[in-house]
Amino acid sequence: MAVSLLLAGLLILGQAADKGASNAPPANAPSTDAELAKNVKRLVLLLDDEAQVKREAAEKELVALGADVLPHLPSINASTLPAEMQNRLRRVRAALMKTAVAATTKTVLVSLAGEMPLSKAIAELTRQSGNPLVDYREKFNQEPRDPSIKVDLKDVPFWQAFDTVLDAAGLSVYEFDEEKGALAYVARGDGALPRIGKASYSGLFRMEPARIEAVRDLKNPENRSLKLFVEAAWEPRVRPIVIEQPLDELSALDEAGNAVLIDGSEGKLEVPVETNNSAVELEIPFLSPDRSVKQIASIKGKLDVVCLGRVESFEFADIDKLKTMELERGGATVVVDSFRKNGDIYEVNMRVTFDKASNALESHRGWIYNNECYLLDPKKNRIDNVGVEATLIDDNAVGLSYKFDLGENTTPKGHAFVYKTAAAIIRVPVEFELKGIDLP
């Protein structure tokens, strides 16, 4: 799958790279997170050194350290950081995120061979792919057996490897897991077909025909319809917001090689993704073909998937003293406009702006209200918000008012305000082809 990014410099959630990609740190890389943070702090200060050669060397070294430095880079604040440091920090972030995007949007390749317990195979799939896998059999009163399975997989995409393991153990995927960022599996239902051989694997995505419906109006035989429902699933290391299928990017052929026409080829299917879903269904409408057509021999399409990127944390110290303050990380800018008391409740009024929101703030903005947002008291105890309302909706920006209840005898003195959001949003195209779909 050719992956083109609308927004360069975005890191998709998760850091798993496909097998064989070189993620080795430089030989002089710090060995612990604390050492890395200390080294990054030293290099960031050098970005504003008087000597140009030192500034350039520090910038190159930060990039060479890899994406692990991203959480340790300071937010860009025009009021506190020198202009030279801001410009170099932006370049460092862009370089690191671009490299990480290229790695994490590639297909993860998995190798698994021999006879082993199911539990070991699942653990290896998680380790090699970075995709958490959760056993839900006990939740459905199913016996959590750990049978021995035999597989022979070498450098195959994650979805193909996962399907092979599930088939070998008589399992299937449960698409509505309650654990964010994981794939759940259960025992396969009676009569359910194997997963291998039915799906199209396209990078991070798995496409499978789920069902087909034909309707004929007995009062008016001219009123006929045919609908194909296709399940689109994704690796949990990414978080789609909405999946779009332009109908003019779809084409289908019957068993004789004749076109099966799409109904409304000028339109676009648009399916929002609920927070805990690991798959959605696309409903593809056809003009009902002649009754002599027995099969959709091939259907090709190209999805446009809007995904959230790497989550960044924006922290504003001493919120009680704060006036207007702005922090920038990656492709997102967070501005705190005011902090005030309203009756028994404290309100933080803020805005978050994205370089490009890729339609993620237009009709499918529910994700923005689920972002983490809380206060930290002087002892670093977390105080969650008790409500949020939108104060501004724009193409690339949202204004939000968060409410906090500090209790009767608590003042906001020394409290910090923390807001977490994806740094930006990208579009990822997903090409697929499904074959041999029998008509009813």
Task: Specify whether the CB–CB gap between 97 and 330 falls below 8 A.
Answer: yes
In degrees, rounded to 5, the angle at the alpha carbon of residue 14 between the alpha carbons of residues 8 and 20 is 85
According to DSSP, the β-strands at 183-187 and 133-135 are: parallel
Distance between CA atoms of residues 366 and 349, nearest Å: 18
pLDDT in tens, 209-253: 999 999 888 888 878 889 999 999 999 888 888 999 999 999 999
Report residue 339's pLDDT band, with 50, 70 and 90 as the boundaries.
very high
At residue 25, the pLDDT reads 42
pLDDT in tens, 30-41: 457 788 888 988
At residue 106, the pLDDT reads 74
At residue 171, the pLDDT reads 96
- Amino acid residing at 82: P
Distance between CA atoms of residues 190 and 196, nearest Å: 17
Report residue 267's pLDDT band, with 50, 70 and 90 as the boundaries.
confident
The length of the chain is 440
Q: Which two tokens stand for residue 419?
A: 């807001």
Going from the C-alpha of 167 to that of each of 12, 109, 185, 197, the distances in angstroms are: 29, 19, 11, 11
Please give the model's pTM, rounded to 2 decimal places.
Answer: 0.74
**pLDDT(191) > 80:** yes
| Number of CB atoms found within 10 A of residue 262's CB | 20
List the one residue out of 186, 144, 204 whose CA is nearest residue 195. Answer: 186
For 166-204, the three-class secondary structure string (H helix, E strand, C coil) is: HHHHCEEEECCCCCCCCEEEEECCCCCCCCCCCCEEECC
**Phi/psi class of residue 342: alpha, beta or left (left: φ > 0; alpha: ψ in -120 to 50)?**
beta
Least confident of 19-28, 52-61, 74-83, 285-294: 19-28
Task: Render the burial of 216-245: b for 16+ CB within 10 Å, e for the rest.
Answer: eeeeeeeeeebebebbbbbbbbbbbbbbbb
At residue 306, the pLDDT reads 87
Counting beta carbons within 10 angstroms of the beta carbon of residue 166, is it exposed (0 to 12), middle (13 to 18) or buried (19 or more)?
Answer: buried
What is the mean pLDDT of the segment spanning 252-274? 89
pLDDT in tens, 351-368: 998 876 555 566 667 888
Q: How is residue 164 annotated by DSSP? A: H
Q: What is the DSSP string of 59-80?
A: HHHHHHH-GGGGGGSPPB-TTT
Distance between CA atoms of residues 391 and 152, nearest Å: 55
Distance between CA atoms of residues 83 and 177, nearest Å: 46
Distance between CA atoms of residues 252 and 262, nearest Å: 8
- The helix or strand, by DSSP H or E, that contains position 101, with its residue range, turns out to be helix 83-104
